Amino acid sequence: MRSVAVTGLGVVSAFGVGVEPFRAGLLANASAFAPARLFDPSPYLARQACEVPSVPPDPLGEVTERAHRLLLAAAGEALDGAEGTLAGERSAIVLGTTLGGNRAFTAWLAGEPWTDASELSSPARLLARRTGVAGPVQTVSVACASGAAAIAQAAGWIRSGRVDRALAGGFDALSEFVFSGFDSLRALSPGTVRPFDVRRDGLGLGEGAGCLLLESAEAAAARGARPLAWLRGAASAADAFHPTRPSPEGSGLARALAAALRDAGAEPSAVGFVSAHGTATRLNDRMEALGLASVFGERLRSLPVHSVKGAIGHTLGAAGAIEAALTVLVLSTGIVPPTAGFEEPDPECPLDVVAGAPRTLEAVPRFAASTSSAFAGTNAVLVLERA
Amino acid sequence: MTRRVVVTAAARADEGPGASADPSPVDLARLRRVDHYARTALLAGARALARAGVSRPASPDADAGVVVGSAWGCRGSILSHARSLLRGAEGADPPSPAVFAQTVHNSACGELAVAWNLGGVSEAILSGPTAGLEAILSASDRVRAGSAALVVAVGVDGADPALLPAWEAARRRFGARAPTFAGGGAALVLERPGRPGAAPLAAVADGTLLFEPDPVRARERLAAWLRAAGHPLGTLPLVLPSPDLDGCLDPGPLRRAGLAGEILGPEPPDGDAFGAAGALGAVRAVERIGRGGGACAVLVRDPEGPAAALVLTAAGG
């Protein structure tokens, strides 16, 4: 089985376009929540969201759909310096999204002309045409685990030898469609989003995109690309508990995590950082703490854990990819950013949540895990190793 | 280490009351509450699992999973939620949480996982017309790699009346070649050989996914792949379940290229099943192998560029 190197990162978040504003915003313990401007939030209990302040236009002027422009910006950054390397039959594109170009779909419902931007798979095809990818081009949609699932699929193809390189990631744009839905579920916090905090009262929505350029060790070496990290393991698992409610004990997440660690050949004791899903809902965070505890045991109390969702919101299909990018940054620097919004620990979530200020780890961990848990009970976990 | 992958059951969602195995672990009340997409996937997947003799374990089985492929997914529920939002702007009832909960495309995975305690891989592929075949290939990859012992692969797209206006709008770019909207659902159970009581119907020999917007080059690449994989071109039965929208899989050129023996399809014969087509075609291929042994290939082409191929062989081959 071949090694998979992460050789490029791209992030678009409410902190701005690029990995650097994302990293700097997290390290500053900032929160990008502000009153929603993309639609009128006044009918809803919550009024805030994390919107990307300025979504770049498509350089070729073909794409207007907001979600797709988020994706194009992240893909462009991940491919920076590697343009042209994806051309040919030995490359793949795998994207994850929850709703894709759903704004185009709702615009059509309101009387606008139909465009293929409404189709979930259209951005993957667009990127394939632009990059010359002639291998597999796939779109996965497993709700909030979509970004991680896309990366896992791409990595699997590289490991098995089917392709040498892949652009993989996730994206989703904020819309009233999603906002109204989460509002109807009473899942949105009207105040500060506080992952794992005892006072947490709901999630906050965001938008964004994350992309990783993945290459076999041989392909990366052939073009002199320096691995930022290695993607060693991946797995998904279903809760098989309830169509909409998460397993209270986090058993699906635990199965996915255990399987991903086995896939990576990593003992739980070798994991030194977890980028958690951490939505800040009562149910999710408790479930996640129990799931992590069932794999890491007592060690979990001293295992640094982080959630980005108090800072940039829940970016749905982008979340798993953005959090994978964060995990690569932590493995590269040994610095864990604070979890925005977290102040007071919850006895039901006995985690070492990094909070208040960045923490420089005594030693850069060898392995780190990024976890995602989705509506309908899909869990996906990525295990990365420092380069 | 790679493993052999066998097909131990094949089923369609629309087999009706005469079907040989009822999806008994499915909660019928639940079936009535879910949207057309999840219901079709649940019926096809549950029927295949029952037919394969897979009993529902008492707790979630980490070695058993589900992969669903669809072009339109839960678009019917998305449409309902979006319409309620538009109506809400006019002062009508607010969006329903029950509907919103079904606006995720992995809802079909979740329903099957709950019904059958499938605690392993859970994946939904929304790649357009090739999605059903992609689901089968992904499921096969999981078994081959050893990350699952058994995966039910489902291809599904609903002929939900609510979707017809969207489909009509989307089809216009294909002009007169566009067929009627049919929809459907089908499932295969893929697993490693040796489960007690399982009777393999076929084996997965090969599969590929490629992206090629030019229809002639796409045909050439599929032919080259089949040749490189060592399949007996010219006599290999081909199932072409999707309507041919760009001429890539016209039977005439396929025969002139020496690609095809017997050609079966489209599936269903009177319309386009979109993401279900590949899985419906695979069911047809399993039936063909059951009648005559040998190998059978399923090819699906998306005129936007993607193409997928699956080669099944006799279980003992």
Q: What is the CATH number of the domain that holds A147?
A: 3.40.47.10
- Confidence class of residue A384 from pLDDT cuts 50, 70 and 90? very high
Residues of chain B with CATH 3.40.47.10: 6-191, 202-314
Same domain, yes or no, for A198 and A334? Answer: no
CB contact under 8 A, B100 and A185: yes
Residues in chain B with CB shorter than 8 Å from the CB of A186 are: 97
Question: How far apart, in whole angstroms, are the C-alpha atoms of residue A171 and residue A69?
Answer: 10
**What is the β-pairing status of strands B6-12 and A271-275?**
unpaired
Domain annotation covers residue A120 = yes
Interacting residues of B299 by C-beta distance below 8 A, sequence separation 6+: B222, B238, B239, B240, B249, B307, B308, B309
Q: What is the model's pLDDT at position B22? A: 60
Question: How far apart, in whole angstroms, are the C-alpha atoms of residue A147 and residue B138?
Answer: 17
Q: What is the DSSP string of B132-176?
A: HHHHHHHHHHHHHHTS-SEEEEEEEE---GGGHHHHHHHHGGGGG
Question: How far apart, in whole angstroms, are the C-alpha atoms of residue B69 and residue B58?
Answer: 27
Question: How far apart, in whole angstroms, are the C-alpha atoms of residue B182 and residue B157?
Answer: 9
To test the contact with chain A by mutation, choose from B1, B72, B127 the residue with the greatest count of A C-beta atoms within 10 A, namely B127
- 3 state DSSP class of A250: coil
Marked catalytic residue, from A50, A68, A144, A211: A144
* pLDDT (average), residues A327-337: 98
Question: How far apart, in whole angstroms, are the C-alpha atoms of residue A258 and residue B149?
Answer: 16
Domain annotation covers residue A321 = yes
Q: What is the DSSP string of A132-184?
A: TB-S-EEEE--GGGHHHHHHHHHHHHHHHTS-SEEEEEEEE---HHHHHHHHH
Q: Nearest Cα to A274, choosing from A314, A309, A304? A: A304
Residue A50 has pLDDT above 90, yes or no: yes
CB atoms within 10 A of CB B293: 14
Same domain, yes or no, for A256 and A377? Answer: yes
Bond into B266 cis (ω within 30): yes
CB contact under 8 A, B210 and A135: yes
Domain annotation covers residue A76 = yes
Question: How far apart, in whole angstroms, are the C-alpha atoms of residue A255 and residue A251?
Answer: 6
Asked if residue B134 lies in contact with residue B127, where contact means CB atoms within 8 angstroms, the answer is yes
CB contact under 8 A, B113 and A377: yes
Helix (H) / strand (E) containing A232: strand A229-238
- Angle at which helix B75-88 crosses helix B36-51, to 10 degrees, equals 160
Question: How far apart, in whole angstroms, are the C-alpha atoms of residue B282 and residue B267?
Answer: 10
Marked catalytic residue, from A50, A68, A211, A277: A277
Same domain, yes or no, for A285 and A356? Answer: yes
What's the full length of chain A, in residues?
387
Domain annotation covers residue A378 = yes
Question: How far apart, in whole angstroms, are the C-alpha atoms of residue B218 and residue B211?
Answer: 8
Question: How far apart, in whole angstroms, are the C-alpha atoms of residue A362 and residue A349?
Answer: 24
Question: How far apart, in whole angstroms, are the C-alpha atoms of residue B194 and residue B191?
Answer: 9
Q: What is the model's pLDDT at position B178? A: 64
Using the 3D structure, point to which of A222, A246, A269 is the last residue of a domain.
A222
User: Which one-letter DSSP state was computed for residue A39?
Assistant: S
How many folded domains does chain A comprise?
Answer: 2
User: Beta-strand (E) ranges in chain B?
Assistant: 6-12, 64-69, 122-125, 150-157, 184-191, 202-211, 238-239, 263-264, 295-301, 306-314
CB contact under 8 A, B117 and A240: yes
Reading the block at residue A224, the tokens are 């002199």
Q: What is the model's pLDDT at position B163? A: 79
Q: What is the model's pLDDT at position B91? A: 60
Residues in chain B with CB shorter than 8 Å from the CB of A123 are: none
Domain annotation covers residue A49 = yes
Min Cα–Cα distance to chain A from B162, Å: 12
Of A89, A238, A243, the CB nearest to B119: A238
Question: How far apart, in whole angstroms, are the C-alpha atoms of residue A359 and residue A146?
Answer: 29
Same domain, yes or no, for A135 and A265? Answer: no
CB contact under 8 A, A142 and B73: no
CATH 3.40.47.10 fits B6-191, yes or no: yes
* pLDDT (average), residues A6-15: 98
Asked if residue B95 lies in contact with residue B135, where contact means CB atoms within 8 angstroms, the answer is no
Question: How far apart, in whole angstroms, are the C-alpha atoms of residue A308 and residue A322?
Answer: 9
Tell me if residue A277 is catalytic. Answer: yes
Which of A6-20, A373-387, B280-294 has the lowest average pLDDT?
B280-294
Residues in chain A with CB shorter than 8 Å from the CB of B145 are: 156, 160
Positive or negative: CA dihedral B86, B87, B90, B93: negative
Chain A, residues 57-76, CB within 8 A of chain B, namely: none
Domain annotation covers residue A177 = yes
- Fold classified for B202-314: Peroxisomal Thiolase; Chain A, domain 1 (3.40.47)
Interacting residues of A300 by C-beta distance below 8 A, sequence separation 6+: A289, A292, A293, A350, A351, A352
φ/ψ of residue A216, rounded to 5: -65, 155
How many angstroms separate the first and last alpha carbons of chain A? 18
Same domain, yes or no, for A214 and A313? Answer: no
Question: How far apart, in whole angstroms, are the C-alpha atoms of residue A99 and residue A97?
Answer: 6
Cβ burial, residue A156 (10 Å; 0-12/13-18/19+): buried
Q: What is the model's pLDDT at position A200? A: 98
Cβ burial, residue A153 (10 Å; 0-12/13-18/19+): buried
Of A182, A259, A375, the CB nearest to B147: A259
CB atoms within 10 A of CB B226: 22
Interacting residues of A132 by C-beta distance below 8 A, sequence separation 6+: A84, A86, A87, A88, A91
Reading the block at residue A327, the tokens are 């995990």
Domain annotation covers residue A227 = no
Domain annotation covers residue A298 = yes
Using the 3D structure, point to which of A191, A222, A253 is the last residue of a domain.
A222
Using the 3D structure, point to which of A198, A222, A246 is the last residue of a domain.
A222
Residues linked to residue A168 through DSSP beta bridges, in sequence order = A94, A212
Which of A111-120, A214-223, B37-46, B97-106 has the lowest average pLDDT?
A111-120
* pLDDT (average), residues A283-287: 97
Same domain, yes or no, for A242 and A207? Answer: no
Question: How far apart, in whole angstroms, are the C-alpha atoms of residue A78 and residue A169?
Answer: 10
Domain with A162 in it:
4-222
Q: Nearest Cα to A31, choosing from A43, A47, A13, A44? A: A13
CB atoms within 10 A of CB B149: 18
Same domain, yes or no, for A214 and A302? Answer: no
* pLDDT (average), residues A234-249: 94
Same domain, yes or no, for A217 and A284? Answer: no
Q: What value, to the nearest 5°, has the Cα angle with vertex B69 and ends B67 and B72?
A: 145
Reading the block at residue B188, the tokens are 């295969």
Same domain, yes or no, for A140 and A46? Answer: yes
Give me chain A's average pLDDT, please. Answer: 97
- The pLDDT tens digits of the residues spanning A150-180 come to 999 999 999 999 999 999 999 999 999 999 9
Q: Nearest Cα to B129, choosing from B308, B312, B311? A: B308
Helix (H) / strand (E) containing A5: strand A4-13
Which positions of chain B have pLDDT values less than 70? 1-2, 16-24, 89-92, 175-178, 317
Question: How far apart, in whole angstroms, are the C-alpha atoms of residue A313 and residue A316?
Answer: 9
Min Cα–Cα distance to chain A from B170, Å: 7
Residues in chain A with CB shorter than 8 Å from the CB of B127 are: 121, 124, 137-139
